[in-house]
Amino acid sequence: MPKVEDEASNKQLIFRDYVTGLPKESEMYVTTSTIKLKVPEGFHGVLVKNLYLSCDPFMPIRMSRVTVNGFSSYTPGAPLTGYGVAKVLDSRHPDYKAGDFVWGITGWEEYSLITPTEGLKSIEQGLKKIQHTDVPLSYYTGLLGMPGLTAYAGFYELCSPKKGEYVFVSAASGAVGQLVGQFAKLLGCYVVGSAGSKEKVDLLKNKLGYDDAFNYKVEHDLDAALKRYFPEGIDIYFDNVGGKTLDAVLLNMRVHGRIAVCGTISQYNVHQSEAVQNLACLLFKRIHMVGFAVLDHHHLYPKFIETVLPYIKEGKIVYVEDMVEGLERGPAALVGLFSGRNVGKQVVVVARE
Amino acid sequence: MPKVEDEASNKQLIFRDYVTGLPKESEMYVTTSTIKLKVPEGFHGVLVKNLYLSCDPFMPIRMSRVTVNGFSSYTPGAPLTGYGVAKVLDSRHPDYKAGDFVWGITGWEEYSLITPTEGLKSIEQGLKKIQHTDVPLSYYTGLLGMPGLTAYAGFYELCSPKKGEYVFVSAASGAVGQLVGQFAKLLGCYVVGSAGSKEKVDLLKNKLGYDDAFNYKVEHDLDAALKRYFPEGIDIYFDNVGGKTLDAVLLNMRVHGRIAVCGTISQYNVHQSEAVQNLACLLFKRIHMVGFAVLDHHHLYPKFIETVLPYIKEGKIVYVEDMVEGLERGPAALVGLFSGRNVGKQVVVVARE
């Protein structure tokens, strides 16, 4: 019989029902259940205490009924799942022990029982043990997690960047963008970013090392804006938004330019994607345009960590997080991602380590 | 004093004046001048007799006043220039001698004096000596010329094809497309082509070895057509047309698919390019989409010839040419390219060897 003291109350953020388009806050609600803080016998899993949860642009896709683009739907009535940082409280898996910090796919709740059967082929694919705990652990939702690896793989592997090249990044202060800009600067590129507020533009110029930045919301003619910031044209475009920005960028790309398509966040809240008019530029300028997802680049993670950790410790790479405290504030944080309310990587703090 | 017998009458196809959009036949006219069949002293050039002239989709771009995409404008009142096959009658250049056959940039006229200053950095870049004359010399405007190298570089270098993959080619019976399909078949791919008439579809299926083919003009729903021909989706799309076809293809690409953008012939006669709606597929399916031009791949020419010549001699690669006789028919042939009037590579015969 389990002892009563093994049980804890477990606040959970429940996904109410399938949605069409972007979710509203009302489509999630907080409930409290109880959970035994032990892995049940016969389960080869781990029981974790969740610390930091990541708000990611792919999550609303999982709220739709249709399984699209390889994302399975969430289960109505169950907690959301997503990337997070957690502490192992109990383990029946040989690779993890109580006290370990892990990052990977977990539940939007205080405690999660994570087993190999929970939509993951194996725990190892979903949960990574955190080897370096001398940095803020929340970084494993961003700088040292999927967004970081996305920036690293997308920029270094797909954009073939060279010193002195002209680099443009959209959603430049976001979880991925802020890092792409810093990678580009470290390599000796000229980097300009776009973002959606004066505050973000200031951040890009004054904290994140961008050479220049502009607020796309006050630019009525994006083509003209790009011509102003890139009179010589753009060699590399790291695209986090798609739509009109991509269209204007195509007109300003240089011959043999490269476009890494990392996100189309501008298109998530429109039923019919904005059309792109200027695709013929791909031909005339012999442009490489590559859609990519970090899941194809997991093998680079060790190399990425080895590259980035020293930069963090030397202060050569910084990272801006937008932390909200408490699961209750999760829905607003997640929904806010799509109106650009967050400044930097959006994290929900469930508990501090 | 030059001897009278050195002079010949020289029929020329003259470009009348800059045009907007696609040219009409009336914008070119034939005139006859005389030419001395010797390279003048002090010129390090060659005097050639033109045999076959190539009608290429880029030529109308050169008829516009504005220099676009690296193509300089033609000179009003002067003959058109373009790719062709010619015989050297006289040479003051050490690399060529009378009797040599050459291919490269020449004039739309019976005889041309080709010098290093004629818009080419050097004759060698513009004119290649034909080493293998045991094939139809007209092939050097197509199968063994720029279109052939385009198909070779585009398919093998940019599409990373693998045996068993699903390949779709648009404008599939054209100068480039017919070869892409045959390369794909030789590699063990499944290949379907689209073209604009029943005659071309029959050619693709019965002569050019395509597994299947369809007439895009009778398909009201290109997406549905592609789903019929590619129930498993498309791994490689060799795009010669752009526009609506590309848009439908994007919906049918498989994960990790590759798109080589070789031409946008469907877009040449529209002022505002047709918009592409489905570009977000690039991201969700992690697609590589590459615009390319053969000029970046000239270094592959020797390897290309070495690969293709044996196939031609063994009958494993065939090539369909649409030959019209006489410079007078050049304007109609060139203009016809844009309504798909040609069946196979469009060649203008000025003289037989």
The per-residue pLDDT for range A205-227, each reduced to its tens digit, is: 999 999 999 999 999 999 999 99
Nearest residue to B63 (alpha-carbon basis) of B38, B82, B40: B82
Q: Average pLDDT for residues B50-54, to the nearest whole number?
A: 98
Residues from chain A that touch B290, judged by Cβ atoms under 8 A, are 282, 286-289
Residue of chain A with shortest Cα separation from B283: A291
Q: Which of A302-311, B61-70, B117-126, B319-328 has the lowest mean pLDDT?
A: B117-126
The per-residue pLDDT for range A137-195, each reduced to its tens digit, is: 999 999 999 999 999 999 999 999 999 999 999 999 999 999 999 999 999 999 999 99
Q: Average pLDDT for residues B239-252, to the nearest whole number?
A: 94
Contact flag A283-B292 (C-beta cutoff 8 Å): yes
Q: CB–CB of A194/A180 below 8 Å?
A: no
Residue A45 backbone zone (phi > 0: left; psi -120 to 50: alpha; other: beta): beta
For residue A322, the cross-strand partners are A346
Residue of chain B with shortest Cα separation from A277: B275
How many CA atoms within 13 Å lie on the side-chain side of B267?
25
- Domains in chain B: ranges and CATH: 4-142+320-349 (3.90.180.10), 146-295 (3.40.50.720)
Q: For residue A115, what are the CA distances in angstroms to A12, A75, B127? A: 18, 17, 68
Residues from chain A that touch B291, judged by Cβ atoms under 8 A, are 281-289
The per-residue pLDDT for range B192-229, each reduced to its tens digit, is: 999 999 999 999 999 999 999 999 999 999 999 999 99
Cβ–Cβ contact B20 with A under 8 A: no
The Cα B179–Cα A114 span in angstroms is 54
Distance from CA of B264 to the nearest CA of A (A): 7
Distance from CA of B278 to the nearest CA of A (A): 7
Please say whether the dihedral angle defined by the alpha carbons of residues B222, B224, B228 and B232, taken in this order, is positive or negative. Answer: positive
Contact flag A280-B289 (C-beta cutoff 8 Å): no
| ipTM (interface pTM) | 0.88
Contact flag A285-B277 (C-beta cutoff 8 Å): no
Distance from CA of B270 to the nearest CA of A (A): 12
Residues from chain A that touch B267, judged by Cβ atoms under 8 A, are 280
Residue whose structure tokens are 């907690």? A79
pLDDT band at B23 (very low <50, low <70, confident <90, very high): confident
The 3 state secondary structure assigned to A6-43 is: HEEEEEEEEECCCCCCCCCHHHEEEEEEEEECCCCCCC
Interface of B with A in 279-318 (CB under 8 A): 279-293, 296
Q: What is the CA radius of gyration of chain A?
A: 21
DSSP designation for B109: B
What pLDDT is stored for residue A317 in this prediction?
Answer: 97
**Pick from A284, A291, A296: which is nearest to B69 by CB?**
A284
Detail the DSSP E strand segments found in chain B.
7-15, 28-36, 46-54, 81-91, 101-107, 111-114, 127-129, 166-169, 190-195, 212-215, 234-239, 253-261, 288-291, 321-325, 345-349
What pLDDT is stored for residue B119 in this prediction?
Answer: 47
What pLDDT is stored for residue A301 in this prediction?
Answer: 94
What pLDDT is stored for residue B63 in this prediction?
Answer: 87
Phi, psi of A149 (to 5 degrees): -65, -35
Detail the DSSP E strand segments found in B6-80.
7-15, 28-36, 46-54
Task: Provide CB contacts within 8 A for B230, sequence distance 6+.
Answer: B166, B168, B192, B252
> Is residue A68 pLDDT above 70, yes or no?
no
For residue A33, the cross-strand partners are A10
Residues from chain B that touch A296, judged by Cβ atoms under 8 A, are 256, 286
Interface size A-B, in CB pairs within 8 Å, comes to 99
Q: For residue B89, what are the CA distances in angstroms to B37, B49, B52, B75? A: 7, 7, 15, 25
What pLDDT is stored for residue B246 in this prediction?
Answer: 95
Q: Angle of helix B243-252 relative to helix B222-229, nearest 10 degrees?
A: 50
What pLDDT is stored for residue B69 in this prediction?
Answer: 61
- On the 0-12 / 13-18 / 19+ scale of CB atoms within 10 A, B218 is exposed
What pLDDT is stored for residue A239 in this prediction?
Answer: 96
Residue of chain A with shortest Cα separation from B239: A283
* CB neighbour burial string for A230-239, b if at least 16 within 10 angstroms, e if fewer: beebbbbbbb
Nearest residue to B48 (alpha-carbon basis) of B125, B123, B131: B123
DSSP designation for B6: G
What pLDDT is stored for residue B264 in this prediction?
Answer: 67
Residues from chain A that touch B272, judged by Cβ atoms under 8 A, are 277
> Is residue B3 pLDDT above 70, yes or no?
no
The per-residue pLDDT for range A316-330, each reduced to its tens digit, is: 999 999 999 999 999
> Is residue B27 pLDDT above 50, yes or no?
yes
Amino acid at position A71, single letter? F
Q: CB–CB of B165/B141 below 8 Å?
A: no
> Is residue B129 pLDDT above 80, yes or no?
yes
Residues from chain B that touch A293, judged by Cβ atoms under 8 A, are 283, 286
**Pick from B256, B287, B291: which is nearest to A286 by CB?**
B291
